[in-house]
C-alpha cells in the first residue's frame, strides 16, 4: 500500500498537523527564547532597573571595557576555570571510558560508581559536600594528615580556592564518559586487530585508531561541556561566594550580583552579551578547524 521510495506517506502527508504538534515548542520558542534574546540586546543599551528604562547607547559596553576591573578579573578567572575544568573533565572521562570498554565482570559496578556523582548536577547538596570535604578540618586534610602532609587552607586561600572548584567537574564526568563509551564501542574490532597485527602498542592504537574515530563525539563533548562549565554557578555561590578576595568570582556570579543584587539589568545584559559573543567565536573556531581534526565516517 505504501511506497518505500516516497519518504512521507500516510499521516505525514498532512502538513498542517505537523505545526499543531510542534506548536508548544514554537510558541515557547518565540515568547520565551527569541523575544528574550532580542530584548536582552536592547536592554544592554539601556539603564534598566526592572521598572524604568533610559537609553544610554553604548555606555554600558564602554564602562565594562574601560572602567570595570571586576569584569577583567572575573573574565580571566572564568577562562582559567573553564579551560582547566573542560580539559580535565574530558581527559578523565576519556581515560575512564577507555578502561571501561575493556572486558571485565565488574564493568557494571565501575560504571555505576563513576557515574554516581554526576546525578547531583549543580545541586546545593553537592556544594555542601564539597565545602565539608575541603574545610580546613575536613576529610581531605584529614586524609593528607595520614601521609603527614600539613593542612591546606583549600577554600580560604586565594591560591587554592579556584583549584578546589576546578576539581568538582572532574568528579562529575559521568555524562561525557558514557558518551565516550558509546562512541568507543562503535570502533570496528577489525581495525583494532589490524593495527595490533601491524605491531601498534596501546598508545598508538589510541592515538591513530580510536581517537580519530571518536573525534566527532569529542567535538560534541567539547562544545557541550564548555557551555555548561562556563555557566558554573551553584558551588561557587554556596562554597566560596566568589571569595577569597574574588579569587573565585566567576562570570555567572558577577552577572547574578549585577542583575539580582544591584538591579542593573541593562549592565548585566551587556555582560551576558559579551559572554555570548565569546562563546560564538569559540564555537565558530572549533567548527572551522574541525575539518582538520574531526574524522567523519560518512557523508551526512
Asked if 58 touches another protein (CB under 8 A), the answer is no
Helix axes 59-67, 265-293, angle to 10 degrees: 70
What gap in Å lies between CA 20 and CA 281, rounded to an integer? 36
Closest CA to 137 of 164, 156, 159: 156
Q: Which stretch binds another protein (CB under 8 A): 22-30, 54-62, 70-78, 159-167?
A: 22-30
Task: Give me the 137-176 binding string for another protein, x by CB under 8 A, dash otherwise.
Answer: xxx--xx--x------------------------x--xxx
Among 79, 124, 149, 281, binds another protein (CB under 8 A): 124
State the minimum distance, in angstroms, from the CB of residue 217 to another protein.
6
Of 88, 164, 87, 83, nearest in space to 127 by CA: 164
Please tell me whether residue 84 binds another protein under the rule CB under 8 A. no
Among 159, 193, 245, 284, binds another protein (CB under 8 A): 193
Please tell me whether the peptide bond between 244 and the residue prior to it is cis, using omega within 30 degrees of 0.
yes
Instruction: Name the one residue in this structure whose C-alpha cell is 551553584.
Output: 234
Interface residues for another protein in 23-52 (CB under 8 A)? 23-29, 31-33, 35-37, 39-40, 43, 50
For residue 179, give Cα distances in angstroms to 36, 70, 102, 115, 162. 32, 37, 15, 12, 27
Nearest distance from C-beta of residue 47 to another protein, angstroms: 14
Query: CB within 8 A of 266, min separation 6: which ones?
Result: 43, 44, 45, 46, 47, 48, 56, 60
Least distance in angstroms from the C-beta of 32 to another protein: 5
Report helix angle 69-100 to 215-230, nearest 10: 140
Smallest separation (angstroms) from another protein to the CB of 278: 10
H/E stretch holding 55: strand 53-55
Three-class secondary structure of residue 46 per DSSP:
strand
Report yes or no: 180 and 94 within 8 Å, Cβ to Cβ.
yes
State the Cα–Cα distance between residues 33 and 13, nearest whole angstrom. 30
Nearest-approach distance from CB 142 to another protein, in angstroms: 4
Out of 75, 77, 222, 265, name the contact with another protein by CB under 8 A.
265
CB-based contact 242:253 (threshold 8 Å)? yes
From the list 17-25, 71-79, 82-90, 156-164, the region that binds another protein by CB under 8 A is 17-25
Task: Report the C-alpha gap between 22 and 11 in whole angstroms.
Answer: 15
Rounded to a whole number of angstroms, the minimum distance from the CB of residue 104 to another protein is 4
196 to 235: interface string for another protein, x by CB under 8 A: ---------------------x--xx-xx--x--xx-xx-
- 83 touches another protein by CB under 8 A: no
Q: State the binding string over 89-118 for another protein (x if CB under 8 A, else -).
A: -------x--xxxxxx-xx-xxxxxxxxx-
Q: How many residues at the interface with another protein, by CB under 8 A?
A: 114
Minimum CB separation of residue 162 from another protein in Å reads 20
Amino acid at each position: 500500500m505504501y511506497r518505500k521510495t516516497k519518504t512521507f506517506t500516510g499521516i505525514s502527508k498532512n502538513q498542517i498537523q505537523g505545526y499543531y504538534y510542534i506548536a508548544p515548542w514554537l510558541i515557547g520558542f518565540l515568547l520565551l527564547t527569541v523575544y528574550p534574546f532580542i530584548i536582552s540586546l536592547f536592554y544592554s543599551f539601556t539603564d534598566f532597573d526592572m521598572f524604568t528604562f533610559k537609553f544610554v547607547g553604548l555606555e554600558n559596553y564602554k564602562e565594562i571595557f574601560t572602567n570595570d576591573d571586576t569584569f577583567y578579573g572575573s573574565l580571566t578567572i572564568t577562562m582559567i576555570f573553564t579551560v582547566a575544568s573542560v580539559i580535565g573533565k574530558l581527559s578523565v572521562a576519556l581515560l575512564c571510558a577507555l578502561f571501561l570498554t575493556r572486558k571485565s565482570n565488574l564493568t557494571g559496578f565501575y560504571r555505576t560508581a563513576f557515574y554516581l556523582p554526576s546525578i547531583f548536577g549543580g545541586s546545593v547538596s553537592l556544594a555542601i559536600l564539597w565545602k565539608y570535604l575541603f574545610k580546613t578540618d575536613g576529610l581531605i586534610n584529614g586524609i593528607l594528615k595520614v601521609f603527614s602532609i600539613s593542612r591546606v587552607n583549600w577554600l580560604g586561600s586565594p591560591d587554592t580556592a579556584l583549584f578546589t572548584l576546578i576539581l568538582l567537574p572532574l568528579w562529575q564526568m559521568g555524562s561525557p564518559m558514557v558518551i565516550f563509551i558509546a562512541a568507543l564501542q562503535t570502533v570496528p574490532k577489525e581495525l583494532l586487530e589490524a593495527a595490533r597485527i601491524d605491531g601498534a602498542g596501546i598508545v598508538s592504537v589510541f592515538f591513530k585508531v580510536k581517537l580519530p574515530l571518536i573525534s566527532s563525539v569529542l567535538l560534541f563533548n567539547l562544545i557541550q561541556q564548555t557551555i555548561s562549565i562556563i555557566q558554573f554557578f551553584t558551588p561557587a555561590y554556596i562554597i566560596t561566594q566568589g571569595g577569597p578576595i574574588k579569587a573565585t568570582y566567576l562570570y555567572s556570579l558577577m552577572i547574578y550580583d549585577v542583575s539580582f543584587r544591584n538591579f542593573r539589568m541593562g549592565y548585566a545584559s551587556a555582560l551576558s552579551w559579551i559572554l555570548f559573543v565569546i562563546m560564538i567565536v569559540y564555537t565558530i573556531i572549533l567548527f572551522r578547524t574541525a575539518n582538520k581534526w574531526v574524522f567523519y565516517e560518512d557523508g551526512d
